[in-house]
Amino acid sequence: MKKGTFLLLCGLLVLSNCTQQNDQSFTLKGKIGDWNDPATIYLSYWSEGNENLDTLQLQKGSFSFTGNISEPAPARLILDYTGEGMGQAAQAGHILYLYLENGTVKLNSPDSLQNSQFIDSPINEEHQAYLEYVGGQIQDLAARMNQKVMQATPEQMKDTTFMAQLNREYTQLLAERSQKQQQYVREHPDSYFSIEALSESVSSDFDVEAIEPLFLSINEKHRESFTGKAFAQRIEAAKTIGIGKKAPDFTQNDPEGNPVSLSDFQGKYVLLDFWASWCGPCRQENPNLVKAYAAYNDKGFEILGVSLDNKDGKEAWVNAIEKDGLTWTQVSDLNSWNNEVARMYGVRAVPQSYLIDPEGVIVAQNLRGEALEEKLAEIFGQ
């Protein structure tokens, strides 16, 4: 999430009825009022782990996108009414989440993106039913928490107790949604969105014995999708990465391009912290990490940050490091959710962290706020 806006992709894919195209192409057509230049509409969608972005200026409110995908793809439309840029439009909430699939899908609105209605789009009708079942988009929950962060005073932002309470509230909301998602899987094993539901419902330290049978109950064709195969990889990661297991070594570059390896920190306690500049809960947790690092760094405690920012977000990543006062080592391959280390550790939500002992063994996961402070006090005898 991003302060002010949580950007998660959901989308819509369509194939033209009028022209001959291959089996993996889509067309997305729409009309939104009578908007003209400088009104600009952006389509962002994911295909096999890669983000694609297309841009058009509206002509009397009309637009048409085409592209290629191999399976239903999460996407978002962002409408910049005034020509101020995609970022400003996203922060203002001018976003429509949808799914793309083979075929032609149309949407129409008399005035705004928010009032858009899909015309005969089975994938989006199914997705809407799924969202109603689980209580809405995950970004809606994040937006609520981001709103509280935006309303916080500078003193509250530095108050670890206040920030810990926000984290507890957010964690509780996610836990309730997770229960609904897993129940959706049990009741809808043939739904494409059962994979999305299960993937979103668990963190990296999930109970494999409970989740793997639920995954295997989903229709095989959905398990063989890109999203399904990615979740299968997470299951395998959960079997090999956890408390009491050796943390896999890796090497990535810091912001200056210098290679850094996890093994460089052998002999010290290391908190491997997965985060991103756009992640609200990550930024909320950073004051706790700053406090812990100041208290225990000279006693043998280190933090190694792994960012899930992308190449376009490198400046935002570097700025967040400076603004939040993160003086420890930071690395990233700037591949967003396809970050090689994140995939190795099965990370699909941030913040996420692993505490690793001097021998390279994981001794704790996802310690935040007071829990991290208590564990470090226990380790270092304070």
At 382 the pLDDT is 66
Taking the CB of residue 214, how many other CB atoms lie within 10 A of it? Answer: 17
The residue count for the chain: 382
**What percent of the chain stands above pLDDT 90?**
64
Euclidean distance between CA atoms 87 and 101, whole angstroms: 26
Encode pLDDT of 15-65 as tens digits. 222 223 335 789 999 999 999 999 999 999 988 777 899 999 999 999 999
Name the residue range of residue 100's domain. Answer: 11-120
Q: Is the pLDDT of residue 5 over 70?
A: no
- Tell me, yes or no, whether 187 and 108 share the same domain: no
At 11 the pLDDT is 25
Encode pLDDT of 285-310 as tens digits. 999 999 999 999 999 999 999 999 98
With respect to residue 328, please indicate whether it lies within any of the assigned structural domains: yes
Q: Are 332 and 307 in contact (CB under 8 A)?
A: yes
Euclidean distance between CA atoms 140 and 146, whole angstroms: 10
- Tell me, yes or no, whether 292 and 332 share the same domain: yes
In whole angstroms, how far apart are CA 307 and each of 214, 279, 327, 350?
Answer: 30, 10, 14, 10
- Tell me, yes or no, whether 98 and 169 share the same domain: no
Range scoring the smallest mean pLDDT among 11-15, 92-96, 224-228: 11-15
With respect to residue 2, please indicate whether it lies within any of the assigned structural domains: no
- Tell me, yes or no, whether 269 and 363 share the same domain: yes
Question: Tokens for 262?
Answer: 């996890």
With respect to residue 34, please indicate whether it lies within any of the assigned structural domains: yes
> Which of 240, 261, 293 corresponds to the end of one domain?
240
- Tell me, yes or no, whether 269 and 353 share the same domain: yes
The residue among 340, 281, 332, 337 whose CA lies nearest residue 305 is 332
Continuous segment of H or E residues that includes residue 306: strand 301-307
At 4 the pLDDT is 32
With respect to residue 6, please indicate whether it lies within any of the assigned structural domains: no
Q: Is 368 helix (H, G, I), strand (E, B) or coil?
A: coil
> Rounded to 5 degrees, what angle do the CA atoms 115, 117, 121 make?
155
Q: Is the pLDDT of residue 202 over 60?
A: yes
At 204 the pLDDT is 67
Mean pLDDT, rounded, of the chain? 88
**Count of domains for the chain:** 3
| DSSP secondary structure letter of residue 298 | G
Q: Is the pLDDT of residue 334 over 80?
A: yes
With respect to residue 234, please indicate whether it lies within any of the assigned structural domains: yes
Model's pTM, two decimal places?
Answer: 0.67
Range scoring the smallest mean pLDDT among 137-151, 163-177, 202-216, 266-280: 137-151
Euclidean distance between CA atoms 339 and 347, whole angstroms: 9
- Tell me, yes or no, whether 262 and 372 share the same domain: yes
**What percent of the chain stands above pLDDT 70?**
93
Range scoring the smallest mean pLDDT among 42-56, 143-157, 236-250: 143-157
What's the sign of the alpha-carbon dihedral 336, 342, 343, 344? positive
- Confidence band, pLDDT 50/70/90 cuts, at residue 282: very high
At 300 the pLDDT is 96
Question: Tokens for 210?
Answer: 């409970």
Q: Which residues contact 183 (CB under 8 A, 6 or more apart)?
A: none
Encode pLDDT of 81-110 as tens digits. 998 899 889 888 899 999 998 888 889 999
What's the sign of the alpha-carbon dihedral 185, 188, 189, 194? negative
At 182 the pLDDT is 97
Euclidean distance between CA atoms 126 and 105, whole angstroms: 14
Range scoring the smallest mean pLDDT among 30-34, 129-133, 345-349, 369-373: 345-349
The residue among 363, 304, 309 whose CA lies nearest residue 336 is 309
Question: Tokens for 351?
Answer: 């913040």
Taking the CB of residue 217, how many other CB atoms lie within 10 A of it? Answer: 13
Euclidean distance between CA atoms 218 and 228, whole angstroms: 9
